[in-house]
Amino acid sequence: KPIYVQYLRWVGQVLQGNLGYSRLYRRPVISILPDRLVNTLVLTSLSLLVSVLIAIPIGVYSALKQYSWTDYSLSIFSFVGISLPVFWSGLLLILLFSVTLEWLPPGGHYSLEPGATLLAKIRYLVLPVMVLSLFSTASWMRYMRSSILEVIQQSFVMTARAKGLKERVVLLRHALR
């Protein structure tokens, strides 16, 4: 059959819930998806959490230290993190932490050792979480920096400072909202 007919037939099957048969696992693809979906959700949730926990404080600190060497170095880090493709940074981190230092496993998603502990399983998440968090941390850090720089010039923040509130209280109660 022509390629467009094959494609339309495939789309029709997908819409009916038939995703085909995996030759590698010798099972229907739909039966493989739940296991893979759990792994994907764990990985993306952890990388999101790490990104937020790192990006917000660093972005705020960079904004408060505007035009300092710290701000410049954090900005360079964020531009590098945004500019590097994820697959390239992944390869570099695998080369560093798995091949050179031998601290982390280069791939996989669980320990093959019998009776592996939770810590052994977490080792398999460290490298992928680092790679996925790098880009989002860098971009959120830039976003937080620019947002804080914009907010601290607003009149309500200046009013809070004029009332004599401590800088920490002004930042936490007014600017970060």
Q: What is the DSSP string of 64-116?
A: HTTTSHHHHHHHHHHHHHHHS-HHHHHHHHHIIIIIIS--S-SS-SS--STT-
State residue 44's pLDDT score: 93
- Rounded CA gap, 177 and 164, in Å? 19
> For the segment 120-175, what is each residue's pLDDT rounded down to a tens digit?
778 888 999 999 999 899 999 999 999 999 998 889 988 988 998 898 888 888 88
> For the segment 70-125, what is each residue's pLDDT rounded down to a tens digit?
999 999 999 998 998 989 999 999 999 999 998 988 887 766 566 677 787 788 88
- Rounded CA gap, 75 and 27, in Å? 48
Query: Any idea what DSSP says for residue 21?
Result: E
Q: Which residues contact 138 (CB under 8 A, 6 or more apart)?
A: 55, 77, 78, 79, 80, 81, 82
